[in-house]
Structure 1
Amino acid sequence: MDAPEPTVAAVPASLAARATLVSDAARRASAYLTGLEHRPVAPPADAVAALAAFRRPLQTAPRDARDVLAELDALGSPATMAQARGRYFGFVNGGVDAAAGAASVLAGQWDQNAALPVMSPVAAVLDEVAAAWVVDLLGLPAGATATFTPGATLANLTGILAGRDALLARAGWDASAQGLFGAPPIRVITGEECHVSALKALRLAGLGVDRVERVPTDATGAVIADAFPGDTDHLTLVVLQAGNVNTGASDPFARIIPRVRERGGWVHVDGAFGMWAAVAPGLRDAVAGMELADSWGTDAHKWLNVPYDSGIAIVRERADLERAMSMRAAYLPETGDREAMHLGMQMSQRARGIETWAMLAANGRDGVADLIGRTCAHARDLAALLEAGGAEILAPVALNQVLVAFGAATGGTGDDAVTDAVIGLVQQEGALWAGGTVWKGRHAMRLSVSDQATTRDDVHVSASAILDAWTRVRG
């Protein structure tokens, strides 16, 4: 239902000026979006160079906000990555769903603090609803609690802290009161392809990266189940992966998780993007068994195409999450309701759940499943086109990741220098953007198809541009 239009006389001058500025920002944002088709994906060198104008001493006197916005648009907009165009394939960065993006604009003006329901009833309700929808969509246990974080690194940290404190509590140690000095040692096991964000989370949790046991992985980057230790116990924390950042492959959850949990251990799944395969009927088998874990970490701002920054931590038992995260003070009401500040690391926090709610409300189950399935199909088509052109696909396309290397001659063995040169030329020319990686000692181009805006035409144009760049690199 549309809000009634206020009369001019009823609007204070300060709010009227602010509303005018917001309208100007919306107009500029609309112009930016409509102009994306006419510019390269990466910003041109002169636009990047022009950013130097921002590097100046802060002036003494205030400036008109309209002038500030105009400067931001004039200098900033041309120097952005055109991620909403459908041809940005770097870093598993998602695009922006239309409903989620629009909700972000409205919620930004609401300026709600989602820490407690009393601070923002609407933020609390949408946070609760969106969190429950995510748990349901991913096929996780019905009683699991989801909470929004700034990204998957902190989502992983949240799950790992919940696991650390739960394991210690079962051993009779209160980590909240006693800290980690003198605590029973926790054994940590993960795969050798564990993502750096999960390793960072382990380091921040005080568990020490050098102490982590690394299990061998197969040619796709998935943990070899037969190589996984069989002597885990009630002080073992295991981190598994849904969606290898290079290949999209997932660890064999069904073979590992039950063995760990029946011995009293804790299993956390790092699924920044790969967990969303569970939403698409044809892809669920890729992550079968992940629902058996104790905690999970994922992103809404990757494959779900919600604006930055939005991660999601999920813990099977709410008591385990609250043990690690809750805080109390005399001035904070204790209502027994779902209170975001007791489910995560932040007190004051942006109402991130609003954008995820909008995306899910607009797309429904079928729309989300189509997004996941369609982008995976685009990845398979992109790999097929590149392979048909003579490039080397280094790993089977498991989900939405394509890993490709280029040789000095068609059909030849991939050459690191040639691959690096192709990546550089592709980035420079701007028809698409893709980054580089190293896989099993080989330099490779990594293409992450994560944007709902990507079309079949984008796939064909991108494959053609990549192969053309390779031809020119070879001379």
Structure 2
Amino acid sequence: MRDLLSDSAQRAIAYLEGLEDRAVAPSAAAIADLAQLDGPLPAHSTPPEDVLRQLDALGSPATMAMGGRRFFGFIIGGALPVTLAANWLAGAWDQNSALYNVTPATAKLEQLALSWLLDLFGLPADCGGGFVTGATVANFTALAAARHGVLARAGWDVEADGLIGGPPVTVIVGEEAHSTLFKALGLVGLGRKRVVRVPVDRQGRMRADALPPINGPTIVCAQAGNLHSGAFDPLADICDWAHAAGAWVHVDGAFGLWAAAVPSLAYLTPGLADADSWGTDFHKWLNVPYDSGLAVVRDRDALRAAMSITAEYLPTDSPNRNPSDFVPELSRRARGVEVWAALRHLGRAGIVDLIERTCRHARRFAEGLQAAGYEVLNDVVLNQVCVAFGDAATTNRVIAAIQADGTCWAGPTVWQGRAAMRISVSSWATTEEDVERSLGAMIRVAGAGK
């Protein structure tokens, strides 16, 4: 076992050290080589060192260099070294982190991380919270609590009796709510299409002057950090309007929630702490390994009512927090360990620096592209830049050429009817040199495509 794990560690280290010397996207040849993995299930066992050798030889070259310094395709960061190391150690622990009485170390680390996060985000210290796989499941978890909360006020026990026959629940969203929010609404039985949509402004923010009347059990889904612009919905106005009518406000803060930790970004967050639930990712701005996210609910009992289970064989009776009381899973990995490690390593000042630095990099991309004559479509308030290189055909051709160049990687999108390239700067490892190198490549490739 020692030799195998040492071999794995050395291969992982070599992979990470080699990211800067390769194109960000995998080559066509590396992708084609994946066909060597095809075939039936082997009839007999294979030595573990051979399994690892094949995995590295064929898998590593065919990966996207998401952990590198110049991947800007999605709002994700590369894993901080301390979080990857903590992830490896937690994997060796092999804890099914459901119950404090069974896995006290991982349950304790999760509770500590939650308390630090609530303080960091300026949220009430007695909120309930669950460590989940990412923003999709964070939204699902929070919306399940919201469903419980608004129907309990109407005298309906949704966990016992389901939605059929119960009071209808109205869901209000912005026109540019993220697609994963609609998936979560479908999963909790509230429907992907059965929503009231609020018009948005040119930055994708819900228009406060267009908020509709509220009647009956209602959940309002707002956004902290628009997918394209980084803009925040007017959360103070939304919370005042919704709470006056007894509605629940959920905030999808997949990456934008982290602005609450940064004094220089406080102007974006008025009303954020007045909501009833929040969801965020850790594999975005906190730069921990996949998969990792958080659901936070002001009404801790509503979250527990929606999520907890009991069984005769489960030692659930504990004065301490049982992680499984606040998440969909019973069997679950100890994903709170690397979150605790990131927070312990960075501290408040390190988190502020990470977020401010990546936002500064985004502004530099915008300034450089504008100076070169290209159109930046959004106000760059966080780490998101949307740029058009001309009409849709030209823009998409330039994006494909930038990706093929290999210096960096950013993805295509369509925002408010315009084809664009979206640059998301989230990695702890990205330096000013990386930004200038990537910016130079973008401008060079775009100029060649004119």
Q: TM-score range by the shorter chain?
A: over 0.9
Q: Which residue of 2 aligns with 1:14?
A: none
Give me the whole-angstrom Cα distance separating, in 1, the residues matched to 2:301 and 2:389: 51
Select the residue among 425, 437, 442 that pairs with 1:466.
Answer: 442
Query: What's the offset of the Cα at 1:177?
Result: 1.0
Write the distance in 1 (CA, Å) between the matches of 2:270 and 2:85: 34
Aligned mates of 1:467, 1:45 — CA distance in 2: 24
Q: After the TM superposition, list the runs of 4 or more consecutive aligned residues in structure 1 that deviate by more than 4 angstroms.
A: none
Following superposition, the deviation at residue 119 of structure 1 comes to: 2.3
Give the drift of 1:72.
0.8
1: CA distance, partners of 2:292 / 2:417: 33
AA partner of residue 176 (structure 2): E
CA distance in 2, matches of 1:276, 1:183: 36
1:212-227, aligned counterparts within 5 Å?
Answer: 212-227=195-210
* Aligned residue in 1 for 2:226: 244
**Which structure 1 segments of 5+ residues have no match?**
1-17, 408-414
Correspondence for 2:110: 127
Of residues 64, 75, 78, the one that matches 1:81 is 64
- Amino acid in the other structure paired with 1:442: R
Paired with 1:19 and 1:248, the residues of 2 have a C-alpha distance of 46
User: Do residues 27 (structure 1) and 16 (structure 2) align?
Assistant: no
Letter aligned with residue 229 of structure 2: T
CA-CA distance at 1:80 after TM superposition? 1.2
The letter of the residue matching 1:92 is I
1:62 aligns with 2:45: yes
Identity of aligned residues (%): 52
Instruction: Report if aligned partners of 2:288, 2:338 keep a CA contact under 8 Å in 1.
Output: yes
Correspondence 1:157 to 2:133:
no
Counterpart in 2 of 1:441? 417
Aligned residues of 2:150 and 2:248 also touching (Cα < 8 A): yes
Matches within 5 A, 1:348-367: 348-367=331-350
8 Å Cα contact 1:135/1:146 also seen in 2 = no
Q: Is the 8 A contact 2:101 2:318 kept in 1?
A: no
Q: Does structure 2 retain, via aligned residues, the 8 Å contact 1:92–1:302?
A: yes
Residue 118 of structure 1: how far off its partner (Å): 2.3
Counterparts of 1:223-234 in structure 2 under 5 Å?
A: 223-229=206-212, 231-234=213-216
Alpha-carbon displacement from aligned partner over 1:158-190 (angstroms, at most 9, x marks no partner): 111100111111111001111111000011101
Name 2:268's counterpart in structure 1: 286
CA distance in 1, matches of 2:20, 2:132: 33
Unaligned runs of 5+ in 2: none
Give the structure 1 partner of residue 87 of structure 2. Answer: 104
Aligned partners of 1:472 and 1:58: how far apart in 2? 48
Contact 1:189 1:236 survives alignment (8 Å):
yes
- Matching of residue 394 in structure 1 with residue 377 in structure 2: yes
Aligned to 1:403: 386
Question: What code does the residue aligned with 1:113 have?
Answer: N
Q: What secondary structure does 2:219 align onto?
A: strand
CA distance in 1, matches of 2:94, 2:4: 16
Residue 193 of structure 2 aligns to a residue whose secondary structure is: helix
Matched, 1:379 2:362: yes
Corresponding residue for residue 401 of structure 2: 425
- Output the amino acid matched with 2:120: L
Aligned with 2:260: secondary structure?
Answer: helix
Displacement of 1:96 = 0.8
> Conserved in 1, the CA contact under 8 Å of 2:173 and 2:222?
yes
CA–CA distance in structure 2, aligned partners of residues 190 and 432 of structure 1: 34
- Distance in 1 separating the partners of 2:216 and 2:243: 8
Superposition RMSD in Å: 1.0
Measured against aligned partners, the alpha-carbon deviations of 1:412-471 in whole angstroms (never above 9, x if no partner) come to xxx100100011011112100000110111100000001011111111111111111111
Picking from 42, 47, 52, the partner of 2:35 is 52
Q: Distance in 2 between matches of 1:218 and 1:163?
A: 27
CA offset digits 1:231-274 (Å, max 9, x no partner): 32451100000101111001000111122113211000001001
Q: TM-score, normalised by structure 1?
A: 0.93
